[in-house]
Chains A and B, each alone.
Chain A
Amino acid sequence: MNTRFALIAAAAGAAVLLAGCATGPSKAELDQQAMALMKASFRDQGIAKVDRLNQDLGQAACSTDAEVSDEVAERIRNEALASIRWPAGGQYFGNWIDGERIAQSGRGMTWTDASAETRNNGGNCYNCHQIDKKELSYGTIGPSLWNYGKLRGITDVTAPTAAPIVQYTWAKLWNSKAYAACSNMPRFGHMKVLDEQQIRHIMSLLLDPRSPVNQ
């Protein structure tokens, strides 16, 4: 039994060696080299420092074209959910006019931006989503948000029946990874891209029955 196991192990080892000769560095070696080259190829510029390359669990796990394991995905979602800061005083809403302005802006947090203060930042929303139908120039990476509140039956944002949708939307905006581990949507609140007040405005744009989005 032992001998047989040793033989198999030896054969497997030889196969690895052979494969190594034929194809160059192993997958793990390439992973390591790529990480080292990432660190070596970037430098600080303005507010964009190289520490932005230090990946957290979700960023690291979602840096591949392979599926993330169920177990890791669940960990990412749970950590994200735990990170959500609910709005002070239970006040979820602002005004949709400011919400539209924030949704339109794709600015902020680049090395050409002078400061990382949230008031300089936009939500990039139209880059990926249709929102108000009047805006023809919208992206399609994310789903259409036209009639977002209306389709979900919101007629009064303060009604108890609206609470689940209101809370889900807040959480999605604060940390999108709470619902999809490898979501392409930024974690606006969690990463301090937008502040509470800005998120309130976007909430109004999406959910307020009077918002142009819900007409």
Chain B
Amino acid sequence: MKPITRAALAAVVAAAFCGAAWAQAKSAADGIAEYRKMLEDGNPAELFEAKGEDLWKKKRGPKNASLEQCDLGKGPGVVKGAFVELPRFFADTGKVQDLETRLVHCMATLQGLDAAEIAKTRFGQGEMANVTALATWVASMSRGMKFNLSQAHAEERRSYEIGKRVFFFRGGTHDFSCAACHSADGQRIRLQDLPNLTKNPGDGIGFAAWPAYRVSNGEMWSMQLRLNDCYRQQRFPYPGFGSEITVALGTYMGVNAKGAESIAPAIKR
């Protein structure tokens, strides 16, 4: 026992000395940056990408069909580049849809699955977990590409304007809005940087980083879940999965992110 006690003491003393010098050279923010860098190699999102790719190609549902004919906006079966142009207007549904609502639409029309049932399912469970895995894979196919949402259709412009209003909507017990935390540069909650989502926050930040693997709970988070939990923390009531305001927020943030390089699926705290 003795050697360890003495050695441990020596280590503590040494650490204290190094610590003092170190603290001046390196802030907590730098330390966090180092931590994030270490996690980049070996992002468990890869496990979900693989699952999503399988789900895309597998024949499933009452119609025993794959999703390979799903039109994510660039034509049936075109996956590469689709993510960085969503949400967008789809003529066949007459609506602006984000990645997840479009995937559910394809699961319903091509595979015969029940869209309403999926929308009601909890995140991380059953077919909802499959939607998240599919979204993770679809996003990964546009990694490194730049966001370029269309504003050509009147509905796309309307979606942006609605999204902007929703973004600034204050309410709940704490008077929070999305804007309360995400409309200024260089701010953070605890040690987490807050992207300014009212303008282009830069490459791989904000909208250009989700879906992401959350290390805090070891789950894959899609954009719909990201928004859902933002609203939970805002102390708002529960936003419906794929509801119009969630899609409109996607349009607002996505258009604002124009030109930003996608790093999705990322890894986050």
Residue A94 CB within 8 A of the other chain = no
- A32's nearest neighbour on chain B, judged by CB, is B165
Q: Is the CB of A141 within 8 A of B168?
A: no
B161 cross-chain contacts in A, Cβ below 8 A: 25, 30, 34
Residue A67 CB within 8 A of the other chain = no
- Number of interchain pairs (Cβ within 8 Å): 146
Q: Is the CB of B240 within 8 A of A42?
A: yes
Residue B71 CB within 8 A of the other chain = no
**Residues of A within 8 A of B (CB-CB), count:** 52
Residue A110 CB within 8 A of the other chain = yes
**Residues of B within 8 A of A (CB-CB), count:** 45
Q: Is the CB of A141 within 8 A of B236?
A: no
Q: How close is A152's CB to chain B, nearest CB, in angstroms?
A: 24
Stretch of A4-12, A51-59, A158-166, A200-208 at the chain-chain interface? A51-59
A25 cross-chain contacts in B, Cβ below 8 A: 158, 161
Docked Cα-Cα span, A32 to B90, in Å, equals 24
Q: Is the CB of A48 within 8 A of B235?
A: yes
B233 cross-chain contacts in A, Cβ below 8 A: 110
Docked Cα-Cα span, A35 to B194, in Å, equals 26
Residue A38 CB within 8 A of the other chain = yes
Partner of B189 from the list A37, A52, A128, A192 (CB cut-off 8 Å) is A128
B168 cross-chain contacts in A, Cβ below 8 A: 63-65
Residue A85 CB within 8 A of the other chain = no
A interface residues, Cβ below 8 angstroms from B: 23-25, 30-31, 33-35, 37-38, 40-45, 48-50, 52-55, 58-60, 62-65, 109-112, 116, 124, 126-128, 136-141, 177, 184, 186-187, 191-193
B interface residues, Cβ below 8 angstroms from A: 28, 154, 157-158, 161-162, 165-166, 168-177, 179-181, 183-184, 186-191, 194, 198, 231-233, 235-240, 243-246, 248
Q: 7 A-B contacts, Cβ less than 8 Å apart?
A: A31-B165, A38-B166, A42-B243, A43-B238, A65-B168, A111-B237, A137-B191
